[in-house]
Amino acid sequence: MTLDSLLDDARDRLDGAVSLRRTLHRHPEIGLELPFTQERVIEAIEDLPLAVATGHSTTSVTARLRGARPGPTILLRGDMDALPMPEDSGVEFASGVEGTMHACGHDLHTAMLVGAARMLSDRRQELSGDVLFMFQPGEEGHHGARVMLDEGLLDPVDGSAVDAAFALHVTTWSPTGTIALRPGPTMASADVLLITVTGRGGHASTPHRALDPIPVACEIVQAIQTMVTRRVDPFDPAVVTVAKISAGTTSNVIPETAEIVGTIRAVSERTRAEVHANLRRLAENIAAAHGAEATVEVETGYPVTVNDVDAARFVTAVATELLGPDHVFSMPAPAMGAEDWSYVLQRVPGAMAFLGACPPGLDPAKAPSNHSNRVVFDEKAMTAGMALYSAVALRRLGGA
């Protein structure tokens, strides 16, 4: 069997995917509790031959398609949550929830996975094994994948364990319908940094009687930039961004404390650990040199997303056959954003690929990107997404 029919089938299903996507876009929900989204997903798949289950501590949905013959299980994932931000995209189906927007394309992911569930259900007789559809809340910083894992996402069913996993993520930095991926580290880890510098408050007219934490904090910020460029291997990079500095209450008071807030990103666990240690040493010793104190807190976030080498090659081959070699690209370097799909890939060999969805007429290098209040995704990209989800599952389970 060739894969040509999958693209034709996906084109026929595009209108339904667009309708679901726009419904979700108008009603975005944040975090682990997405009751409206969960209901729409269940409604969209309730007529299919799927074993559907919902989460206990989150509004997740899993749906298992049993193949006609026994075999392994492949996991396909679509995340469902939105972001706490305003929407200024100008689309007619813009968010109806103030301060909440589907700015990362998770509404497209959900709609594509529903479309793939329908396509694969029609091809159940071709499958030797199961497909597990993972509709996940809480990707945007709420560790939703980890919650689902803790609730038994990967538990074997009738002796069949999940032994492969695949996810897609839309982006505007590549043309519509193109696929980009790489083996190995694909997205960075992401940790939150909080440094509190404590000095001694006093009158602004007599700084020598106080111990001003603000210049100490400024020195720490400057030293962080040097640390990244001089202490981190450029071929195993890290990014430390100071996003917020806060101190003081008025113009004539030297405050007692100053706070530095930012993020730490790395593409290996080795560099991640080294940067954590370097930041502590740097902040504590700079503060001590001035007679002040610094405490460093690191809130551990998502691990590095690492594509299994064989899985990435497999997906590349399937995508190339499905879409053509001019639509599949190898990423030269990891993206420095983070993903909780990383938790799944720590447990199961698999991959994540990026699906181009830049609107026609826009330059992918300049188009508003994921997490922008003005981002717009080309919905036609969902044709390639639905077809690729289906093709990966069919090839993996011997049906194509």
Sequential DSSP letters for 163-231: EEEEEEEEEEEEETT-EEE-SEEEE---EEEEEEEE-B-EETT-GGGSB-HHHHHHHHHHHHHHHHHHH
Q: How many domains does the chain fold into?
A: 2
Residue 3 pLDDT = 82
In angstroms, the CA 307 to CA 32 distance is 25
Q: Are residues 166 and 249 in the same domain?
A: no
Same domain? For 329 and 349 the reply is yes
pLDDT at position 399 is 60
- Alpha helices by DSSP H, listed for the chain, are 4-26, 35-45, 106-121, 144-150, 213-231, 269-289, 309-323, 341-345, 381-396
Q: What are phi and psi of 166, to 5 degrees?
A: -145, 140
CATH number for 224: 3.30.70.360
Which amino acids are annotated catalytic? 302, 379
Instruction: Say if residue 79 is in the same domain as residue 127.
Output: yes
The reply to whether 360 and 276 lie within a common domain is no
Alpha carbon distances (Å) from 390 to 143, 167, 290, 365: 26, 11, 61, 29
**In this structure, are 383 and 247 located in the same domain?**
no
Tally of CB atoms within 10 A around 257: 18
- 59 neighbors 34 (Cβ within 8 angstroms): yes
End-to-end CA distance of the chain, in Å?
Answer: 5
Q: Which of 268, 299, 330 is the last residue of a domain?
A: 299
Whether the Cβ atoms of residue 224 and residue 294 lie closer than 8 Å to each other: no
Of 299, 317, 342, the residue that ends a domain is 299
**Is residue 12 located within the same domain as residue 156?**
yes
Q: What is the pLDDT of residue 4?
A: 77
Q: Residues 118, 60: one domain?
A: yes
> Is the dihedral angle over the CA atoms 7, 105, 302, 245 positive or is it negative?
positive
CATH number for the domain that contains residue 325: 3.40.630.10
Q: Which of 259, 282, 299 is the last residue of a domain?
A: 299
Q: In this structure, what token pair is assigned to residue 170?
A: 């839309």
Same domain, 144 and 19: yes
Q: Rounded to whole angstroms, how far apart are CA atoms 37 and 23?
A: 9
Q: Is 389 helix (H, G, I), strand (E, B) or coil?
A: helix
Indicate whether 266 and 226 sit together in one domain.
Answer: yes
- Asked if residue 373 and residue 320 are part of one domain, the reply reads yes
pTM: 0.93
Task: Extract the tokens encoding 68.
Answer: 């006609």
In a shared domain, residues 273 and 353: no
Divide the 400 residues of the chain into consecutive groups of 10 and give the mean pLDDT of each group. Answer: 85 98 98 98 98 97 96 97 98 98 98 98 96 98 97 91 97 97 97 98 97 98 97 95 97 98 97 98 98 98 98 98 97 95 98 97 96 98 98 88
Residue span of the structural domain in which 358 resides = 4-187+304-396
User: What distance in Å separates the CA atoms of residue 379 and residue 10, rounded to the nearest whole number?
Assistant: 12
My answer on whether 30 and 91 are in the same domain is: yes
